[in-house]
Amino acid sequence: MQIDRIWTNARLATMTGEGLGVVENGALACAAGRIVHAGPADTLPPAPGAERIDCAGRWITPGLIDCHTHLIHMGNRAREFEMRLQGASYEEIARAGGGIVSTMRATRAASEDELVAAALPRLDALLAEGVTTIEIKSGYGLDAPSELAMLSAARRLGRERGVTVRATFLGAHALPPEYQGNPDGYIAMLCDDLIPRVAAEGLADAVDGFCEGIGFTPAQIERMFTAARAAGLPVKLHAEQLSNLHGAALAARFGALSADHLEYLDQAGVAAMAEAGTVAVLLPGAYYFVRETQLPPVDALRRAGVPIALATDCNPGTSPLTSLLLTMNMGATLFRLTVDECLRGVTRNAARALGMANEVGTLEPGKRCDLAIWDIGHPAELVYRMGFNPLHARVRSGQ
Ligand code: DI6
Ligand code: FE
């Protein structure tokens, strides 16, 4: 095996095992884009001819993973934000024709090139903080051409920047105006037409939905999950964000990769997720931005051993957030997650929420050589600071 590059004089947070998997005096070696050694410097295999990079005592973590975003969308909802400051609720605005449907109008009017161009600055903000894998959902097109354009724009973003993109089909995000009064007709269109197409064209890696009073009922979500399964796509779900419709338990029954938000999750939902191995993706940016007061049941999730991930939920309505570092700070401050839990939430557990646990998320031989190299004295600083970026270098596939 020809080692191409080694990083020496580093401290590693491998994110393996129980804690951070710290290795002082560490070294990391890469061959053909894969990690072949991540451990003590004195056990580094001989690497004649390899490029050597001296990290001068800096910390290396796995490249960060943002496992829940709506990065692709047109326009913004700053006016709506102002209305909410004056007392209107998110649900009131949605029912009055604002909300997701207003972003849908702007998104439908855009070409695929425009979708990519609008998302790039947001993507670049995330990459600047060491993100090497990102999930991007559709769900602002809500008709065939625009949903397909969003998914294909997501694939293009991955090609235009050095980042791994997982695209998620979120057709069941909101009811488009042409199906007003006929949500079952819309779900039938998704199941019979769009999901099979998206799967056949390889445009999506998973199927998601919004199970909520202002979204879709558990029965409608179940129909869609059945279609996803038939098409060979794994599922995930926006569940228990504003109320408890027992969406997480439904998702768990379908072996979902993740159930996301979860502020109103009950004990039965926690148990179902634990049983199925479904990851709890917590989204503190949305919790903060809508001034939610119901906390997700973090203790119950811990006790049951449900893996917890953290993500930005970057979207124009409830979480206009493009910092995974700030997301970790919010996870700690608002949800009382530990530093270790926050870091695991944007690395190893985020990988699992994307079905990529064998590929990324830890520093281990065999994983893709995706690294974030930090100018910090201890990993706790990554969670502690607000609005400061200590990234020294970002490495994707060893480059
Ligand atoms: N829950 C959310 O917080 C976002 N989508 C969802 O299902 C909000 C999306 C938006 O308001 O545009
Ligand atoms: Fe979301």
Question: Atom 7 (ligand 1): residue with closest C-alpha?
Answer: 210
Give the ligand 1 atom nearest the CA of 319: 3
Q: Return the percentage of the chain with pLDDT > 90, whole number.
A: 94
Ligand nearest to the CA of 312: 2
Which distant-in-sequence residues (6+ apart) come within 8 Å of 293 by Cβ? none
CA of 394 to the centre of ligand 2 (A): 26
Q: What is the pLDDT of residues 110-136, one digit of tens each?
A: 999 999 999 999 999 999 999 999 999
What pLDDT was estimated at residue 252? 98
Distance 282 CA to ligand 1 centre (A): 14
Nearest atom within ligand 1 for CA of residue 90: 11
Q: Looking at 134-240, list the stretches that DSSP marks H as alpha helix, in order from N- to C-terminal side.
A: 144-160, 183-189, 195-200, 218-230
C-alpha distance from residue 397 to each of 30, 136, 205 (Å): 9, 20, 20
| Ligand 2 mean position, distance from CA 185 (Å) | 23
293 burial type by CB count under 10 A (0-12 exposed, 13-18 middle, 19+ buried)? exposed
What is the average per-residue pLDDT within 227-243?
A: 98
Query: What distance in angstroms lies between residue 169's CA and the mean position of ligand 1's atoms?
Result: 14
Relative to the alpha carbon of 289, which ligand is closest?
A: 1
Pairing of strands 64-66, 59-62: unpaired
Residue of 70, 101, 104, 321 to mutate, ligand 1, most atoms within 8 A of C-beta:
70
Which ligand sits closest to the CA of 239?
A: 1
Q: What is the pLDDT of residue 94?
A: 77
Q: Whose alpha carbon is nearest atom 6 of ligand 1? A: 210
Question: What is the 69 CA–ligand 2 centroid distance (Å)?
Answer: 6
Q: What pLDDT sits at residue 234?
A: 98
**Residue 211 clears pLDDT 90, i.e. is over it:** yes
Could you read off the pLDDT of 268-293 as tens digits, one per residue? 999 999 999 999 999 999 999 999 99
- The pLDDT of 156-181, averaged and rounded, is 97
DSSP state of 389: -
Q: What is the mean pLDDT of residues 240-249?
A: 98
What's the DSSP call for residue 45? Answer: P
Atom number in ligand 1 closest to CA 210: 7
From ligand 1's centre to the CA of 80, what distance in Å?
13
| Nearest CA, atom 4, ligand 1 | 318
Q: Which helix (H) or strand (E) holds 277?
A: none
Summarised one tens digit per residue, pLDDT across range 56-74 is 999 999 999 999 999 999 9
pLDDT band at residue 1, thresholds of 50, 70 and 90? confident
The residue nearest atom 10 of ligand 1, judged by CA position, is 317
Ligand 1 atom at shortest distance from the alpha carbon of 241: 1
Best residue among 84, 107, 173, 175 to mutate for probing ligand 1, ranked by most atoms within 8 Å of CB: 173
Cα of 290 from ligand 2 centre, angstroms: 13
Site residues for ligand 1, CB cut-off 6 Å: 99-100, 103, 173, 210, 238, 241, 286, 313, 315-318
| pLDDT(53) > 90 | yes
**pLDDT 10s digits, 312-339:** 999 999 999 999 999 999 999 999 999 9
pLDDT at res. 95: 76
Please give the distance, rounded to the nearest whole angstrom, from the Cα atom of residue 268 to the centre of ligand 2: 23
pLDDT score recorded for residue 387: 97
- For position 283, what pLDDT does the model report? 99
24 conformational bin, left if phi > 0, alpha if psi -120 to 50, beta if neither:
beta
Once rounded to an integer, what is the mean pLDDT over residues 164-176? 97
Question: Distance, CA 312 to ligand 1 centroid (Å)?
Answer: 12
pLDDT at 380: 98
Ligand with an atom nearest the CA of residue 140: 1
pLDDT band at 200 (very low <50, low <70, confident <90, very high): very high
Residue nearest to atom 2 of ligand 1 (CA): 318
Q: Whose alpha carbon is nearest atom 3 of ligand 1? A: 318
Confidence of residue 52 (pLDDT cuts 50, 70, 90): very high
Atom of ligand 1 nearest to the CA of 317: 11
As a whole number of angstroms, the distance between CA 362 and CA 369 comes to 9
- Bridge partners of residue 259, in order along the sequence: 237, 280
Mean pLDDT score of the chain, rounded to an integer? 97
**What local confidence, expressed as pLDDT, does residue 271 receive?**
98
Q: CA angle 383-386-390, nearest 5°?
A: 70
> With 90 as the cut, is the pLDDT of residue 165 above it?
yes
Averaged pLDDT, 285-308: 97
Strand 258-261 versus strand 236-239 pairing type = parallel
What is the Å distance from ligand 1's center to 241 Cα? 10
